[in-house]
Structure 1
Amino acid sequence: MLNRTYDSQVCSIARTLEVLGERWTLLIVRDAMLGLHRFDEFQHSLGIARNVLTDRLKRLVEAGVLERIAYQQHPPRFEYRLTAVGLELCTPVVGLMHWGDRHLAGPEGLPRLTRHRTCGGQLHSELVCEECGATVDGTDLELPPGPGLRAHPDATAG
């Protein structure tokens, strides 16, 4: 995880970075979204050192992003599945992927597509207003203080 904590900041982004802000962690979540579940699968996909992978999986389980499920008793073996909390990460992870697709894709094209499993339609990550249904971009985005920030008058981050 991060070498420093953001305890003094009342900010959901800083809190999220404490859980997901290390590159291997987000790639483990990506691989779990792709259907990998076992330690060896993650290690093979990522080329990550065993001790680093062990630490990242442990932290994701502690944070409630993954659950550790025994699939074999002798010797004990476990797999890692996204929890409901982990599945909610699909939206921001796909949003990061789409940003990378728009700005960093190679000349060969997109590395992966995002499709609706039920009908096959392409998916788009967007901010949509729950009131009027409009798609909102960064120029029309407002981030006013919420009740959690107002409870901390010395907070400088949002």
Structure 2
Amino acid sequence: MVRRTSFEDSDCPVARSVDAIGDWWSLLIVRDAFDGSRRFGEFQRSLGVAKNILSARLRALVAGGVLELVPAADGSAYQEYALTAKGRALFPVIVALRQWGESHFFDDGEPHSELLDRRDGRPLAELRVHAADGRPVAPEETVVAKVPR
């Protein structure tokens, strides 16, 4: 089996973030957690992923502090998965991926799921990157300050 490269010691925040999330299954698990899934069976039904893969991804997300095991809300002996503060902080990432996908992978008028504001039932505004002073910033207006070696 090929061993996965770890970026946990990288000086790049993107590399460390990708290392923590792991793969597409993990992002989809996080997406489903935001949609209200909390139990193993709910994730498995939604994703259709093999149980061994789902188990491994859930364990990794718990170990990484993205999810935590909590007592079942219904008072049963089961445990459920809940987003931690670290996991909830992924919300803008999920929204950005969703909006990017809507813009680039669907034809005009093609039906797709939508993320709506619960209060007014309308789609969210497009995410934008802003400078500290509030002005919108484009990629060419940024620079990465590398760590000196």
Once the 2 structures are TM-superposed, how far is the Cα of residue 86 of structure 1 from its aligned partner? Answer: 0.6
Aligned position for 2:70: 69
CA gap 1:111/1:140 in 2 versus in 1, 3 angstroms: same
Aligned counterpart in structure 1 of residue 126 of structure 2, from 120, 124, 127 = 124
CA gap 1:99/1:110 in 2 versus in 1, 3 angstroms: farther
- Runs of 4 or more consecutive aligned structure 1 residues displaced over 6 Å after TM superposition: none
Aligned position for 1:137: 138
Once the 2 structures are TM-superposed, how far is the Cα of residue 3 of structure 1 from its aligned partner? Answer: 1.2
Between 1:63-72 and 1:113-122, the stretch displaced more is 113-122
Aligned position for 1:88: 89
Residue 39 (str. 1) matches residue 40 (str. 2): yes
SS at match of 2:17: helix
CA gap 1:94/1:67 in 2 versus in 1, 3 angstroms: same
* 1:34-69 Cα deviation digits (max 9, x unpaired): 111110000000011111111111111111111111
Aligned position for 1:103: 104
Once the 2 structures are TM-superposed, how far is the Cα of residue 102 of structure 1 from its aligned partner? Answer: 0.6
TM-score by structure 2 length?
Answer: 0.85
TM-score by structure 1 length?
Answer: 0.80
Would the aligned equivalents of 1:28 and 1:42 in 2 still touch at CA under 8 Å? yes
Aligned position for 1:19: 20
**Distance in structure 2 (CA, Å) of the matches to 1:100 and 1:140:** 24
Once the 2 structures are TM-superposed, how far is the Cα of residue 98 of structure 1 from its aligned partner? Answer: 0.8
**Distance in structure 2 (CA, Å) of the matches to 1:112 and 1:90:** 16
Gaps of 5+ in 1: 154-158
Q: Give the root-mean-square deviation of aligned CA atoms.
A: 2.0
Identity of aligned residues (%): 34
Gaps of 5+ in 2: none
Q: Report the structure, 1 or 2, having the larger strand content.
A: 1
Would the aligned equivalents of 2:9 and 2:16 in 1 still touch at CA under 8 Å? no
**Distance in structure 2 (CA, Å) of the matches to 1:110 and 1:81:** 30
SS at match of 1:94: helix
**Distance in structure 2 (CA, Å) of the matches to 1:11 and 1:39:** 32
Residue 10 (str. 1) matches residue 23 (str. 2): no
Letter of the 1:123 counterpart = A
